[in-house]
Homo-oligomer: A and B are copies of this chain.
């Protein structure tokens, strides 16, 4: 009996030691919360390098970032990195929307790790992001915003999910990979007058873009066919046929980087906010442009926002709210009166006129090198198949 007690005591001791070892191996849960951003230059201050932006004269009031709430729809290759960047920058609140699960097939993009396979993307992301920065407030929704029920909930969270509950969010970011979800975000933002930014990466992984949409002021997603947005094929068809879109952590990282940079410039009021910035990885070509809204847009809320914007602009004739007219208009003869402004030089054209990669049927490159015109001004073409804007719009409406 005495021996048995001794053995049991030994076992208890062994187990206690083992448990202690296991516990010390655990990831210690990040850092404690910080009440106020400090600019103190010490190794223990996670905000010192951001607050230095003030001292360097780049940002007037960096702390203001803590007052903003941003909604991110789609937490995939672009959305997850977007969320991580905003988290590390110390954004006030993030609202994440996605209905996908993490898969090993996502491991060729940044952010998610193999041990998270099987978890919902929003939950896995929230866990990682809270650990990185416990000062950020998170609200996650594991659903598809395009279903009727969820769309209404999505709308109500955009209107009421701000840092102070009941106030709208400050910005919506679209990081989705399909036309339907983009159109849902567009519809919601037109109705709410909510400013948003769209992002996209092509199916061949070597081009992408970001676009800022201010309802009434700039073209909405229904005003014109999406430029530089992937191939115009339904991703459901893709999956059914066993066709798999390519993706690269590089292209997605660059797109997330230019997206969040545009967000920071927009929210913290520094630099030039881009209405449209494209990225062609094959030629290192970065076209910029801006598009006016289409007065005949199918979305009645877009037309309504345009009227309101015009009234506001007329009431403030000396304000900056007046659309900038000094930009050279390149193309104004399409049925929607969309103006494409291009800043592409002859040199750039020459340099980007590489061969178009051969793609399987049904897949087209998101955008191609602009067609040459007189001088250094050129027309930005939507894609390379020779289809008109009208054809494309019709095609997408049928999707």
Which residues of A come within 8 Å of B, CB atoms?
A: 1, 4-5, 8-9, 11-12, 15-16, 18-19, 22-23, 25-31, 41-50, 52-53, 55-58, 81, 84-85, 88-90, 103-105, 107-110, 113-115, 117, 131-133, 203-206, 242-251, 253-254, 256-258, 260-262, 264-265, 270-272, 274, 277, 281-284, 286, 288, 328, 342-348, 351, 354, 357-360, 363, 376-377
* Contact residue among B203, B271, B282, B358 (Cβ-Cβ distance under 8 Å from A271): B282
Interchain CB contact under 8 A, A251 and B246: no
Q: B205 touching A58 by the CB < 8 A rule? A: yes
Would you call A81 and B253 a contact (CB within 8 A)?
yes
On chain B, the residues within 8 Å of A16 by CB distance are 15
Choose one: B104, B132, B271; the contact of A206 (CB below 8 Å).
B271
Q: Is the CB of B248 within 8 A of A89?
A: yes
Of the residues B49, B343, B351, contact of A245 by C-beta under 8 Å: B49
A56 CB to closest chain B CB, in angstroms? 4
| A262 / chain B contacts, CB cutoff of 8 Å | 284
Query: Contact between A8 and B12 (Cβ–Cβ < 8 Å)?
Result: yes
**Interchain CB contact (< 8 A) of A56 among B29, B131, B360:** B360
Please name 27 pairs of A and B residues whose Cβ atoms are closer than 8 Å in the assembled complex, sorted by A. Answer: A4-B5, A15-B15, A15-B19, A22-B23, A25-B26, A27-B27, A27-B115, A30-B114, A31-B117, A41-B242, A41-B244, A44-B104, A46-B104, A52-B245, A56-B205, A57-B358, A57-B359, A58-B246, A85-B250, A85-B253, A88-B249, A89-B249, A250-B264, A253-B253, A284-B288, A343-B345, A345-B348
Q: How far is the CA of A353 from the CA of B157 in the complex (A)?
A: 39
Copies in the complex: 2
* A84-B110, A250-B257, A284-B277 as given contacts; A347 in contact with B360, CB under 8 Å: no
Q: For the complex, give the distance between the alpha carbons of A56 and B347 in Å.
A: 28
- A107 nearest CB neighbor, chain B only: B46
Inter-chain CA distance A71–B348, complex, in Å, is 32
Tell me if A's interface is mostly helix, strand, loop or mixed: loop
New A-B contacts (7) at CB < 8 Å, excluding given A22-B23, A81-B253, A345-B376: A44-B103, A46-B104, A58-B357, A250-B261, A271-B281, A342-B347, A343-B348
**Complex Cα distance A12/B15, Å?**
7
3 tightest A-B CB contacts, nearest first: A345-B345, A254-B257, A343-B347
The answer on a CB contact under 8 Å between B114 and A31 is yes
On chain B, the residues within 8 Å of A242 by CB distance are 41
Contact at A250–B254, with CB atoms within 8 Å? no
Q: Given A18-B19, A274-B284, is A253 in contact with B250 using a C-beta cutoff of 8 Å? A: no
B45 to A105, Cβ gap below 8 A?
A: yes
Q: Could you tell me the distance between the alpha carbons of A47 and B247 in the complex, rounded to whole angstroms?
A: 10
CB distance from A49 to the nearest CB of B (A): 4
